[in-house]
Chains A and B, each alone.
Chain A
Amino acid sequence: MRTDPRWWRALAYGVPLAFLTLFFLYPLAAIVERGLLAEEAGSALDVLTDPLTREVVWFTVWQAVASTVLTVLVALPAAYVLGRYDFPGRSLTRALVVVPFVLPTVVVALAFLAVLPEPLERGWAPILIAHAFFNVAVVVRIVGTFWASLDRRTAEAAATLGAGPWRRAREVTLPLLAPALAAAAAIVFLFSLTSFGIVLILGGPRYATLEAEIYNQAVRLFDLRAAAVLALLQLGFVALTVWVAMRLEARLAGTGRLGSERDVLERPRTAREKAVVVGSLGGLALFLGVPLAVLVERSFAIGDGYGLDAYRALTSPTSALLASPWEAILNSIVFAAAATGIAVAVGGLAAFAVAAPQGSRILDGLLMLPLGASAVMLGFGFVIAFDTAPLDFRSQPWLVPVAQALVATPFVVRIVAPTLRAIDERQREAAALLGASPGRVRREIDVPVAGRALAVAAGFAFAISLGEFGATVFLARPDRPTLPVAIFRFLGRPGELNVAQAYALAVILMAVTALTILLVDRIRIRRGGWV
């Protein structure tokens, strides 16, 4: 990076920082300041010493840890299979595993209630299972893709020296996988930590996470001070998680050579290998497929039989939305496309800044913060921060893709930065030796490699934007409902046709996601890469 022209460095550091500051740090600071300075009786520390808060914090942390462990355990067999074997339907598997990730929590919770047996219906068990259901995609894709690019010769050398399969796994493969595992686990931990809807619906009235408590304080009790203190506490946990994850990655990175997928993957030959493939994928298919199948079945159920009534009803205007449902689909796609563009631009530049040898880890960590910040506080922050000219855009529709991009950008950085880091320095040196300027080296070596990684990152960012995480849920879309909003509104009205239409829209959301990921996956990453 030191050899790059100054304007490039300014761009690569400046644009992500400006984006983060304007659309994340500033609104969050505004709402927290408003909360802390509110005229409430008592001190800010009251809520921290409340025994209820301690209970909530303890539950939040342990369920996040347990969810992460469960997710990794469930996802590891599938990641192993995707990381070693080539088989028909491999890309379809990789695409389908992302589908649960984008579904709105209320729909999934209802599907789970239809599927889970009576004793498991309520309490912390369904919460953990539901978290695993949502987040399996993160682990399978991050770890699976990374696994597929590891050089097998190290493990083979260990085998020739006499190490058995478990010893090889423990002492060779696991350490090599550790950076990817740490990154995936950190992301899953953050999502579980800030989980909101799942805990409320499946946990019942006895369980609440920090995010639910923040919502309770801010909206139900209108105690902004308590909400602000809790939001800062949550941010503290998030920052700690990110810091630990960065340290782990830094210590573990760079211990193996990355190879091309073509060399690493092979078809399963022995019966045992085939059994492993079928077993792992079958297990995952069951785990993910059963609730999804329930969703699909409910969308066709009309009266006592089945029919396409719900889908047909979607084509006519409905009073549940101020627009027709097909417009909601179009709005979702347009917003997601814009959010993807922003995330790819900002995340791509940040990846260049982060991947350089003296690159900024702080920028990387800062960009991860939106993944775990309180969505409800950030939503309110937008409303009070952007209310006076020249920052007078709180009701503008383009704020929605910006909020979506805040969550998608860290994924882009996670995908592109390792790819850039893996470029052999000697190639750059050879180009420089032959007379290329630093800018040209960037353009003709880094950008093509980054281009492919960016395309894959774009696919994931698109899925994330469709799923509307974070503060997006709390932003108004003037006259432009999106798919998750439409689903939620249909579910809020009595009547079988309305419920069926909600499920039908969920099925359409699933289909659009799977299709996009399939299309984007056709663009292969040449040199490692993380999702």
Chain B
Amino acid sequence: MTPRSSAPGSAYGVRTKLHSVTNVLVALITARPGREVRQVALCNLRPLRIVVAAFAAGAMAVGVAACGGDDAPTEVVLVTHESFALSDEVRRAFEEESGLTLRVLQAGDAGEIVTRALLTAGNPEGDVLFGVDSNLLARALEGDVFEPYESPGLESVDDRYVLDPEHRVTPIDHGEVCLNYDKAWFAERGIPPPPSLDDLAAPRYRDLLVVQNPATSTPGLAFLLATVARYGDRGWQDLWRRLRANGVLVVDGWEEAYTTRFSGASGSRGDRPIVVSYASSPPAEVIFREPRPAEAPTAVVEDSCFSQVELAGILRGAANGDGARQLIDFMLSPTFQEDIPLNMFVFPVNREAALPPEFVEHAVVPADPLALPPEEIEANRDAWVAEWTRIVVR
């Protein structure tokens, strides 16, 4: 074995090292397959170089992406949950109208974003928080995370949606959590579908209901609150005892209940024809089915509907307060409000916003849904859920 010059830093050693590094860079920059890449490949550090090249590419891509954001008041940051959706045209309309870039920070569900807002009160992650619902409102207000703002758009909104007289939060949309049932299933067997909440515990509806656990699911919680609102603080327990005796199935979340257990969902192999879902689920079944049916295959039990309002608020300590106010105004404008139903499957609060034809034809907007004041929910929710768990699960 002929030793090479062994002195470190010899001319040969340095030249080889520089040569190899240059090879990698050249290959990266020119990205030409062929000679450079083959020369690089032939060296015995090939695996390491591929890894370094991949790392450099990945880091550059992420770095370039990260360099985009600039905290000067040219952008407004919206903090929201995973169910938020917005059409490109509407987003561009806002950006053109206001001259600001809209950045959306999306992670988790309503509970998680409220927790994050509470943890960062005073030094928030963004400018506007969207996604606080009526169940979590009292907790968010107690945590003093918002700055009051009364938007002029509120003139077109019904008073019953304005849950905070101090305008720390602004209503943006409302959705109703209702029992949905599979029309075809009941028609095939000649059984009338349940006309109201009271009939659910009847023997003919044995083993037909699937609900979500209120401890882990928002619609599940809403349904529990519906029974509390309907039967009062003393009466709801009895209904649930009877439901348990009648074979109610409790699952963890909406996805499992609706897509796997509910017989009325297209593509589902479920066998339960009654599920807790939303008033907007029947039109969704029309829109997302190929080919589109003339009539909605599912319907809601109207008196079981529980109203949920979703609100937005300017976070205290926001970097761009002006932009935040503009965004809230925009979210109440007909442009944004009319975009809501087909994106988020809830209803706009602005009475001047037109509903899409599928919703007009197939959706039922309950005239008088059940509701509970946010403070009462906040004070009793944990106790109610614990008691529900004792009655139904254990």
Binary interface encoding of chain A residues 297-308 relative to chain B, with 1 for a CB under 8 A from any of its CBs, else 0: 010011100000
Contacts of B46 in A (CB 8 A): 451, 523
* Interface contact tally, CB-CB below 8 A: 224
| CB of A34 closer than 8 Å to a CB of B | yes
From known contacts A341-B51, A345-B55, infer whether A395 and B6 are also in contact, taking CB-CB under 8 Å: no
- B284 x A493 contact (CB < 8 A): yes
- A384 x B119 contact (CB < 8 A): yes
Which residue of chain A has its CB nearest to the CB of B270? A113
Cα A481 to Cα B91 in complex, Å, equals 17
Interface centre among A216, A341, A384, A478, by most B CB within 10 Å? A478
Contacts of A303 in B (CB 8 A): 266-267, 289-291
- B44 x A320 contact (CB < 8 A): no
Contacts of A492 in B (CB 8 A): 82-83, 254-255
| CB of A436 closer than 8 Å to a CB of B | yes
Contacts of B85 in A (CB 8 A): 319-322
- B104 x A447 contact (CB < 8 A): no
State which residues 116-171 of B face A: CB under 8 Å: 116, 118-120, 123, 125-126, 139
Contacts of A317 in B (CB 8 A): 88
Of A57-65, A168-176, A362-370, A496-504, the segment with at least 4 beta carbons within 8 Å of chain B is: A496-504
Cα A497 to Cα B58 in complex, Å, equals 33
| CB of A76 closer than 8 Å to a CB of B | no
- B47 x A341 contact (CB < 8 A): no
Contacts of A106 in B (CB 8 A): 255
- B62 x A338 contact (CB < 8 A): yes
Which residue of chain A has its CB nearest to the CB of B63? A398
Contacts of A216 in B (CB 8 A): 215-216
Of A125-133, A217-225, A258-266, the segment with at least 4 beta carbons within 8 Å of chain B is: A217-225
Cα A485 to Cα B118 in complex, Å, equals 24
From known contacts A476-B106, A491-B255, infer whether A341 and B265 are also in contact, taking CB-CB under 8 Å: no
For A334, give its contact among B45, B61, B256, B278 (CB under 8 Å): B61
State which residues 31-85 of B face A: CB under 8 Å: 44-48, 50-52, 54-59, 61-63, 65-66, 69, 77, 79, 82-83, 85
| CB of B250 closer than 8 Å to a CB of A | yes
For B215, give its contact among A205, A395, A397, A495 (CB under 8 Å): A205
| CB of A452 closer than 8 Å to a CB of B | yes
Cα A357 to Cα B59 in complex, Å, equals 33
In angstroms, how far is the closest chain B Cβ from the Cβ of A494? 4
Cα A110 to Cα B259 in complex, Å, equals 9
| CB of B22 closer than 8 Å to a CB of A | no
Which residue of chain A has its CB nearest to the CB of B102? A479
In angstroms, how far is the closest chain B Cβ from the Cβ of A419? 12
| CB of B367 closer than 8 Å to a CB of A | no
- A319 x B342 contact (CB < 8 A): yes
Which residue of chain B has its CB nearest to the CB of A322? B104
| CB of A100 closer than 8 Å to a CB of B | no
Return 10 A-B CB contacts under 8 Å, by A number: A110-B260, A113-B260, A344-B55, A384-B120, A448-B44, A450-B48, A478-B105, A494-B258, A494-B285, A495-B288
- What residues make up the interface of B, taking CB atoms closer than 8 Å to A? 1, 3, 6, 8, 44-48, 50-52, 54-59, 61-63, 65-66, 69, 77, 79, 82-83, 85-88, 91, 103-108, 111-112, 115-116, 118-120, 123, 125-126, 139, 213, 215-216, 250-256, 258-260, 265-267, 269, 277-278, 281, 284-285, 287-291, 342-343, 345, 382, 389, 392-394
Given contacts A396-B66, A494-B285, 5 further A-B contacts (CB under 8 A): A221-B382, A395-B126, A476-B125, A494-B288, A499-B259
